[in-house]
């Protein structure tokens, strides 16, 4: 039987593949840049929404307890990230290049600041790596798109 930590690590690392290939495709495949940009940010929104959804089961388990966040705040935070993920897709491309890396960074800060009691140490380390790579891919794509904008915003 595979351990949860190993499986979560494998799935998490596999989840970086679309970020890495997406950023590289934006740069190296100019004929399909518009499509690659759309897919890159749709994937970014999907992962951000998925990560925000993780807070729901925590809130549901908290019930009457209020440490370190109340269930209400946990649900509100979840919804803020979910709405950010979806609504940012409606923004101009230049705004998306800023919103997604910031949202991923803020989500990580929430995890290590207020949710750390709920996550085992291996998960916090994994999240740091996943967030770092996802943000670097976001920044790489943003720099490329803003330096040589060929995609309509």
**Residues 2-35: tens digit of each pLDDT:** 799 999 999 999 999 999 999 999 999 989 999 9
The torsion angles phi and psi of 4, rounded to 5 degrees, stand at: -60, -40
> Has residue 147 got a pLDDT over 80?
yes
pLDDT tens-digit profile of 43-76? 999 999 999 998 888 877 766 565 566 778 888 9
27 and 145 in contact (C-beta within 8 Å)? no
C-alpha dist (Å) from residue 139 to 38, 76, 88:
16, 27, 16
Q: What is the pLDDT of residue 85?
A: 96
Of 83, 82, 80, 59, nearest in space to 71 by CA: 59
Q: What is the pLDDT of residue 66?
A: 55
Q: What is the pLDDT of residue 132?
A: 98
Q: What is the pLDDT of residue 117?
A: 82
56 and 80 in contact (C-beta within 8 Å)? no
Residue 31, both tokens: 């004929």
Is the pTM higher than 0.85?
yes
């Amino acid at each position: 039987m595979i351990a949860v930590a190993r499986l979560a690590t494998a799935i998490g690392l596999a989840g970086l593949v679309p970020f890495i290939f997406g950023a590289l495709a934006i740069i190296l495949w100019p004929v399909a840049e518009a499509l690659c940009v759309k897919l890159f940010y749709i994937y970014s929104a999907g992962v951000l929404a998925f990560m925000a959804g993780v807070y729901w089961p925590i809130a549901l388990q908290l019930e009457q307890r209020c440490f370190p966040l109340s269930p209400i705040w946990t649900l509100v935070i979840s919804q803020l990230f979910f709405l950010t993920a979806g609504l940012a897709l409606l923004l101009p491309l230049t705004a998306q290049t800023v919103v997604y890396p910031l949202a991923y960074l803020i989500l990580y800060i929430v995890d290590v600041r207020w949710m750390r009691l709920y996550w085992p140490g291996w998960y916090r380390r994994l999240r740091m790596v996943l967030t770092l790579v996802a943000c670097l891919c976001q920044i790489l794509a943003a720099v490329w798109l803003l330096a040589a904008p060929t995609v309509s915003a």
